[in-house]
Chain A
Amino acid sequence: MTKPLIQINHLVKKFGDNVVLNDITETINQGDVIVVIGASGGGKSTFLRSLNLLNQPTSGEIEFEGTNLVGLSEKELDKVREKMGMVFQQFNLFPNMTVLENIKLAPMKVKNQDDAAATKKAHELLTQVGLDDKADAYPTSLSGGQMQRVAIARALAMEPDVMLFDEPTSALDPEMVGEVLKVMQDLAKSGMTMVIVTHEMGFAREAADQVWFMDQGVIAEKGEPEQIFTAPKHDRTKDFLSKVLAQ
């Protein structure tokens, strides 16, 4: 039933002498919801950005749907990135476009969808994230939570096979975190494969199939949320969790 969607083999990433990812080999299966946790500077963002090759790995392989992405040309990578949605901590909406235009841009430019089809799909997605009334607004007039929900809708418009989230709620005021997590929760239930870097332990507990604890460039410990949160094996996991949960 489970088949590998992304296979990571001996992934290494160095910035100069700084080894940020140190020989990671992991599998992400179709439908998995994986939450990556870990201390700041542990390499979580670098790991996530290696999956769609926004960061070029120093060595190793990223196999996505059977093809190794490392060494592909930019043109070939464009084709792959369509299928890997990404959501950023800073939203990165295009400020010169309306919400609707933000969502329609890639389907029309990349998939050559016609305007009517793209508009229809965009409205559906906005309804899904509860923001259809904001279709014609510009991003600057939205709250952080609304912006992040638009960003999720924008990524979904390309009908990706996997969604990557890099601390999607870290830049939000506390009262807005819930609305974004709710959207992600629904997405997880719908069967979307997701890799999520977050500090929201409650969300990890509820939504994750697996929690990966990342430390000093490796996945130091992984397991079902129940196990990681109640019975961590690794000293560094214990240390990290006690610090985070104490807050």
Chain B
Amino acid sequence: MAQNAKVPFNGTKAQADELEKVLKGLKNVEGALMPALQQAQDIYGYLPIEVQEVIADRLGVSLAEVFGVATFYSQFTLTPKGKYKIGVCLGTACYVKGSGEIYAELQKQLGIESGITDDLVYSLDATRCIGCCGLAPVMTVNDDVYGKLTKDQIAGILAKYKA
């Protein structure tokens, strides 16, 4: 994966300790793998192979199984996200109100199809319904939600989030 090569894994000791703590707590829980991956992603922001190895080892399952689950679910990401995570809702309500065009505009302005920009500042994803259908079309930047969007608002929104 080209994008992995771009960003070498540099987890901190604090992150590693936190992960160990989480995994200890999940030792005897039935069906622990999903919660483990979810909390690991909360800690690191993504699931690099190094983290998957630790999870496999501590939970006593094979790395193949961990990788299989991590790649099955779209919420899990094996590559890091940008400082500003941009999501465009492509749920039905947003789509019929033109969110496809919003997405295309963001692709154009950020110069990426999806994934992360070279300077690691922005990442772009198409998301499923985030439950603000009343505000369609909707995009999110980290925890901020922007609704009732039109194409010409995009540049102004991006300008608020600078490296």
Q: Determine if chain A interacts with chain B.
A: no
